Structure 1
Amino acid sequence: MNVFKQMYKSLYSPRDIAIYRFQGIGKTILYVFLLTLLSVLPTFYHFSIAINNGIQAAEEIMREELPDFTIKNGELDSENKVPVTIERDGFSITIDPTGSVSGKDLANTGNTFALLKDEFALAAGGNVQTYPYSMIDATEVGKQDFVDFFASMDGVTYIILPIAFVFIYLVSSAMKFIEVSVLAMMGLILKNIGGRRLNYGHLWRMAAYSVTISTVFFTIMEAIKTPVPSGFLINWLVSAIVLYLAINETPAPKKA
C-alpha cells in the first residue's frame, strides 16, 4: 500500500493504523516526512506571499514614513520614544525602542516586520521569527541602510525562499519526529490500559499514523488562516485518542 493511501485510511480507520505496526520502519519514517511536507506548505505559502508583497511596501514605508533610527551595540534607538506602527497594502512595520512590544505580540498582526528593542522580527501567517541585532556585523546601522537593503531584496528572493523552505521543513520535521516519539511513549501507558502486548517499535509506527487527523486538520486551518483556540491541547488529545483506538484494534492476549 502506498503512503498516500495510508494517509487516507489513517483519517478514519484505527484498524488500518493497527495493521501498519508490522511494516518496515523506513516506510514509516518516509510517511512522517511526507506528513510534515504537507503541514508546512500553507506556512511556506503565506511566508512567500508575505516576503514578495512586503519588500516593496517595506522599502516605501522605511523611506517615507518611519522616523530616523539607529541600531548600535545591539539596541535600537529612535527619535520617537514610543512604539510606531505603519500599515500599507496588508503589510505593516513596527518600530519600538522602548521594549514594550515583544515578538509574541506580533503573532496576530498579519504580515509584519518589526524593529524591536534588541531584535528584529518577521510575522507571517501567524508565525513569528525573531533575530537579535547581534547578528548584524556592522557596529552601527541606520534607517538609510535598511532602505538600501530592502531595495536590493527584489533580485534575491529566488535564493532566499528555497533556503527558507528547507529551513522551515527541517525544523518542522524534527518537531514532528519528537511529537511521534512522545506520543509513542504515551502509548506505553495506553496499551497497559487496554491490556495489549505491544513494544515501543509497534507503538512508534502506530503513533506516526495516529497524528494524521490532527496534522491534516491544523494544516487546513493554517491554509485558511484560522486560529484554533487551545490548539496544542486539541492536537495531543486527538492524536492520543486515535492511538488508543488503534491499540484496541490489536488482538488481546488470550486468558489462560
Structure 2
Amino acid sequence: MATVTPGNSEFDRDTAVVRRAPGVYDAQLSAGWTIIHAVNGGYLLALMGRALGDTLPHPDPFSVTAHYLTASVPGPAVIRTEVVRTGRTMSTGAATLVQFKEDGTEVERLRVLASYGDLDALPDDVRTSAKPPALPPYEHCLGTDSAPEGQPPIPGSTAIAGRLAVRLDPATAGWAVGAPSGKGEMRGWFGLADGRDHDPLSLLLAVDGMPPTAFDLGLSGWVPTIELTTHIRCRPAPGPLRVALTTRNLAGGFLEEDGEIWDSRDRLVAQSRQLARVLLDS
C-alpha cells in the first residue's frame, strides 16, 4: 500500500489517497471540507484528481467531468480508477467514488471521466479575448471576518470556510446583508487558509469553492452540483487566484454556473461550467 500525496499542507493531507491495489484507493473524506452536512464538490474533485494522477501516465488534469450522484459524507471512501486510453501526449481515465452504509451496502457518490497531459509541455502561444475580472484590491474585499458598513460579517458557518482564504468583491456580496444584486454574479480572491501555493489539483477545488451565484439571485440554502466540467489551461503562478462566476439562466429549479480562474500573472488558468439544483423551498 502506498499513500499518494505530494505535500504536508492541510489540503494535501485531506486529499491523500492510499493505493490498496492497482486502480483501487482508500480515502478519508474530511469533515473540514463540508457545506452543511455534505462534502464539497470541489474537494471531492481534487481527491479524484489525485487518484487519477497516480493511475494515468500523464501528470496533470486537462479536462475533468464529474457527475455527482449522491451527497458524500465525511468518513471512509473507496476510489476505483480505470485507464480508458493512453497516447503519447494525453491519456484518459475514469473513476468512481463509493461509500458504504452501516449494513455494508455500497453507494456510488461520484463518477468522473478525465483527460490528462503535461501542462509544462504545452506551447506558450496564447490568443484570447478573455480578460481577468476587475476586482478591488485584496484588502478592500470582504471575508468572513469583514463587516461592510457596520453590518454583520459575511456568513462563514460552513466548515470549509475555515480552510479557505476567500475575499469577495463587495459588488457581489450584497446577499450577505440581505441585498443581493439579482445579477447572478460572484467574484473574489481565492486561496487556501494555510498559504499553500496553487497547483492543478487546487484549481479543481477553486472552481467550486466560492459561494454559489444563487445567493446573488436572492436564494439561500444548499445548491448541490449535478454535473461539473473543469478545464485546466496552465499551471498557476504563486499568489491568490481571482475567481469570477456567472449564471444567466435559472429554470425548472436548475441553473448553470460558468467560472473563470485567473492567476497572479493575469493568465486564465482554469474554466468551468456546472449544472446545479436550486432548492427553492430552502
Could you tell me the TM-score, scaled by structure 2's length?
0.22
Structure ranking higher in strand proportion: 2
Higher RCO (CA < 8 A, seq sep 6+)? 1
Larger radius of gyration: 1
